[in-house]
Structure formats: C-alpha cells, structure tokens
Chains A and B, each alone.
Chain A
C-alpha cells in the first residue's frame, strides 16, 4: 500500500517511509531510529542527516504525550472547509519527539489546557483513509 491513504487529504504518495501507513492501519504509530547514532525520528525518516546513514529501524511509540500548544481553526484551506472548527495541536511524546495532529473532537474547547496528558491514537475515516489524532489520556 502506498502512502497516499494517509491523512484526510494526501499531497504525496511516494516516500521511503510508506510502511508507516501499513503499520498505522494495524494500529501502530511508528517512529524510526538511526542504527548508527541512535537518534529517534518522528515523523519517521528513512535517512539520518547527522551521519548520512540510511540504516534505520522502525520503533513503536507508546502514544503517551503532553500538549505543548494548540489553535482552533475557524477558517481552512481547500478540502477542510467543511470541518471547521477543528483544533490543531503540537504535543511532546514521552520518547522526546513531537507530534503534530488534530485534537479529538471529544475534547471540549474549555477542557483544553497546555500541559494536559494526551494519547496519540490511530484513526480510520469512514472512507477508509487513515490518520492519527490526540485523545484525552
């Protein structure tokens, strides 16, 4: 399966880390780790610029993270206009990497606070497309 199933709208289909989508479909959110220097990459990368290595291993993230910042969008780019308002968030995973995703619609806007515990969770759209979202821990 190619990467173009990822996200509500996908802007690209070809990538060396296309297996990410395959793992995601099985309920796993994966990062990559450089076998040379040990650096963890999320979003996953096939290449490590620090030592020009391409020797990487897939590694599952626990999903445990904390909210760093967020915004509720009331205005959207093409393809997302029917979804407003939605809340875009940046969270810090316990493994040290950051994740950019939407906050689950089950979290009320007045409950949102920076520092809150969240759980990064795979999400399947009714049309079969896949993504991940941040749920209340």
Chain B
C-alpha cells in the first residue's frame, strides 16, 4: 500500500505575523484542504510540530487540534528542532502504513516573535551541549561556520561560492509571494556584509520568522477518493549524529544527511540522477553546498563547483531551492519541513507557476535539525 500527500498549505513567512499560533496554523490548514474532497472530520489523527522553546503555550498540540476542529481524534507533539515537521511526516507515514490511521494532518508552526529578542539570545546559546559547549558562547552560525572553514580548507571552497548560493536564493525568492525577503542580491553585497561567525556573513545566514505549514497524508484508497493529483511518498529516511561537536567524525559534511539519503534512495529504488527538483536545508549557505555532496548531486568536494557552474538553477543539472530556500523564505523552525514538502508537491503537480521545473516527476526534500543532529530525507513522486 502506498502513502500519498494529498494536500499542502503554508502561510506567508514574516518577521512578525501579528496573529496567535492557532490562527497561524489555521491559515496553513485551510490551504491544505482547499480543492480536496475531504472535511476536517475525516482526519484520523494530527501531529503538531514545532520547537517548544519558542512557544508560550505549554503542549500546543491540544490547543491547535481544538482550533482546527480535530478533537476528539488523537493528537500529539513531534520535535526535532528545525526538522520537526519532516519528523511529523515520517510518523504520519508510519501511522498510515501500519493501518492505524488512514488520513493524517501534519501541522508545523513557529511564532518566533512570540518571545523577546533577549529571550531569543538566551535560548540561542542552549542549542549546543549545555554542559561542555554552551559555556564557550556558541550558537548556530558558529557551528555551521566551523563546517564552512573545514570545507574551505579541505576542498578549496571559496567565500564567493558561498555567496553564490544566496544570489540564487534571492533570484527565486523574488518569485515567491510567501518569502520574507523578496529581492535579488548581488555577489558584492553578500561579500561586503558584516561578519556573523567567520567565514559566514549576514547573507550567508537565514532569518528567524513566523509561519506555519500543513501536509495532509492519506492511504492509497483514501488518496484516490480525495484528489486527482496525489503525490506519492517514494522513500523516507532519517538518521542522527552527535549533538556535541566533539563527537563528530566528519567536519566537511553532515553524516546524518548521508545516512538518511541512503535509506530514502534505497526504499524508493531511485538514484540521485533521478531527482528532477530538490529542496535542501540551506539554513546557511555552506549547508546547501554540503547538501549537494551529501545527497549525491555531485561528488564530495564539488559542491562549490556545482553552484559556480549554475547547475542548481532551473535549466541546470538539478534545480535546488527554487522557492528561495530558508535563506530568503525565512526559517520558522517547526514549519520549515512542511514548507519544503509543499514546494516539491506543487512542483510535482505542475502548480509551481513561474518557478515550475518542466516535467518534474521525482522530487527530494532534505531537512536537517540542529547543526547536523537530525537528518531527514524524503523522496516524492508524481
């Protein structure tokens, strides 16, 4: 029995959404159910995904499922920081595959503006091992910057190549009405921007945002009754790596992404060359370059060259993040995975508008939690 994605939704990603978390989730849920032969009463279970340190509400699953009219069906919370909603999709897949449930809603959200910037600063330092690494003043950009430095040293990757990832991101974000930053940006602007954690500068980093996403999943039988354009989950993989930096054996790639990709390709009987369009977790520019290598779009060491040659633009070897990616869309932690899945589903349904990759049949979503702690790769097929 196959499992399908039948509906997808996403709110605009913004700096300050001005509404409550349940209202934010409703917007994404409403879009996901549009045009489906399905009412909310037919949804068997819901999985609510976010990073709890940004929530004022304790245990948001109950609140959100109530607002979406999903009570008394089971609901619960899933978290793997920035990949929470991909984790939710994996759990939803298992629910349907096992026969426990037939239709599952995966709702990801984050209202990062709900807490003050002082509170954000305080939480930033606690993403690392709080006993042995946080006491040195670390934070997310520093973690990825250490990978960038090692990648540059080992493979000769340059700051210009990193900047070219953001240039591509800006070009496509201009065409995405839901992105937080909708403007083209030049290579010079990227290179002149202030340093955050060397070699990463301001435009090498994504921004916090408010937003929600929704993915409606269904069994094959239910999917066919619900929509004419189901998108099938062909492969799904997940892996982890140490939270600590000292535990890492590879400093030029994310092992959890390599492992998750291997599982997903194997399950789908697909290879990297079969992928027509991909969404990768570009929380920082270096993350996209490593993703090219870790997903097999090029050999390890050649990620910089792939963007240099514009191979990840539409018309190139493998279009990547043609919705602007996290770098320009913004990164509302819990909503990001669902947003990436939405982009690929629209591509495979031929509904991606100006950024449509012609004839796309297979799409990939790479969603990472933390600094390479939680790796998730999902392969979708028309």
Report which A residues bind B (CB closer than 8 A).
3, 6-12, 15, 42-43, 68-81, 83, 86, 88, 90, 97-102, 114, 131
In the complex, residue of chain A having the shortest beta-carbon distance to the beta carbon of B128: A100
- B19 contacts partner chain A, Cβ-Cβ < 8 Å: no
Cross-interface CB contact of A88 among B126, B146, B147, B196, cutoff 8 Å = B146
Residue of B139, B200, B251 touching A69 (CB-CB under 8 A): B251
- Given the complex, which residues of B lie within 8 Å of A70, measured CB to CB? 146, 149
User: CB-nearest residue of chain A relative to B132?
Assistant: A43
Residues of A within 8 A of B124 (CB): 77-78
Question: Do residues A74 and B122 form an inter-chain contact, with CB atoms below 8 A?
Answer: no
A25–B130 CA distance with the chains assembled, in angstroms: 20
Cα–Cα, bound, A10→B126 (Å) = 11
B246 x A90 contact (CB < 8 A)? yes
CB distance A74 to B196 under 8 Å? yes
| Cα-based distance from A120 to B278 in the complex (angstroms) | 43
* B198→A69 contact, CB < 8 A: no
- CB pair B132 A73 closer than 8 Å: no
Expressed in whole angstroms, the Cα–Cα distance for A60 and B332 within the complex equals 44
Q: List 12 A-B contacts (CB under 8 A).
A: A7-B135, A11-B134, A43-B132, A43-B246, A70-B146, A70-B149, A73-B197, A74-B194, A77-B122, A77-B134, A88-B142, A98-B245
Shortest CB-to-CB span from B19 to chain A, Å, is 28
Contact for B141 among A3, A68, A75, A81, CB less than 8 A? A75
Which of B135, B139, B198, B245 touches A90 (beta carbons < 8 Å)? B245
Asked if B150 and A75 make an inter-chain contact with CB atoms under 8 angstroms apart, the answer reads no
Does B267 sit within 8 A of A, measured CB to CB? no
Distance, CA A74 to CA B248, complexed state (A): 24
Given known A86-B137, A100-B246, contact A78–B118 (CB-CB < 8 A): yes
- B145 and A71: CB pair below 8 A? yes
Question: Contacts A68-B150, A69-B150, A71-B149: A78 and B122 contacting too (C-beta < 8 A)?
Answer: yes
Give, as a whole number of angstroms, the nearest-CB distance from A88 to chain B: 5
- Closest residue of chain B to A8 (Cβ to Cβ) is B135
Taking the closest CB of chain A, its distance from the CB of B240, in whole angstroms, is 14
Q: Which residue of A lies closest to B246 (CB)?
A: A98
| Separation of A76 and B167 alpha carbons in the complex (Å) | 26
Nearest Cβ in chain B — how far from A4, in angstroms? 10
Are A78 and B121 in touch, CB under 8 angstroms?
yes
Beta-carbon contact of A77 and B139 below 8 Å: yes
B244 at the interface (CB under 8 A from A): yes
Residues of A near B199 (CB, < 8 A) are 71
Q: Does B131 contact A (CB under 8 A)?
A: yes
Whether the Cβ atoms of A8 and B137 lie closer than 8 Å is yes
